[in-house]
Amino acid sequence: MVTVWIGEFQTSHRRPDEVVVFDVLCGDFNFDNCSPDDLREQNHDIFEEYIDPCRAGPGKEKPWVIGTLIEQPMMYEDDVITPENLQRTLETEELRRQYISPPVPAVGLPLVYPLPDEPWVGRRIDYILYCQNSIAKQCKTEIEEFTFITQLAGLTDHIPVGLRLRVSDCSAE
């Protein structure tokens, strides 16, 4: 439904003289890209239209990605209660395994995670996606930086994400 709503919104609000220079979709999607139980969502058409900078493909994250959901009973532990401690924990795979929510197995099947030679990531349910197809033809969107933000440590079980895009005017080139 989100793709339908976005299309309806863009159609009803776009003005003829308007130049769209970026199109971003973000939020808590309540599914991840590592759980076998979320296989259907990992293959959703939204990922054909919008680019997820963290995603290598359905069910596979890029090597630098970390999960964004802290296990609720653990969110007040010393290792994650301050921004500095949370950052240190996120940078250490062994600690991430203790505090970031693990993947959800498919019903009736054992969970094999991570696959050999892949890092332990955990559940990333918070997304920032961007679309190149819906912006003005003379513009181009590029990622400058993707960040995992630790400043809200102890206040939420989510690790907020940030994205800085560079929008360039291709007609000036």
Mind telling me the catalytic residues?
158
Separation of alpha carbons 119 and 101, rounded Å: 14
Tokens 């395994």 -> residue: 97
Dihedrals phi, psi of 150, to nearest 5 degrees: -105, 0
CA-closest candidate to residue 133, choices 40, 6, 2: 6
Contacts of 94 (CB under 8 A, 6+ apart): none
Peptide bond into 16 cis (omega under 30): no
* Cβ(155)–Cβ(87) below 8 Å: no
Separation of alpha carbons 91 and 2, rounded Å: 33
SS3 61: strand
SS3 69: strand
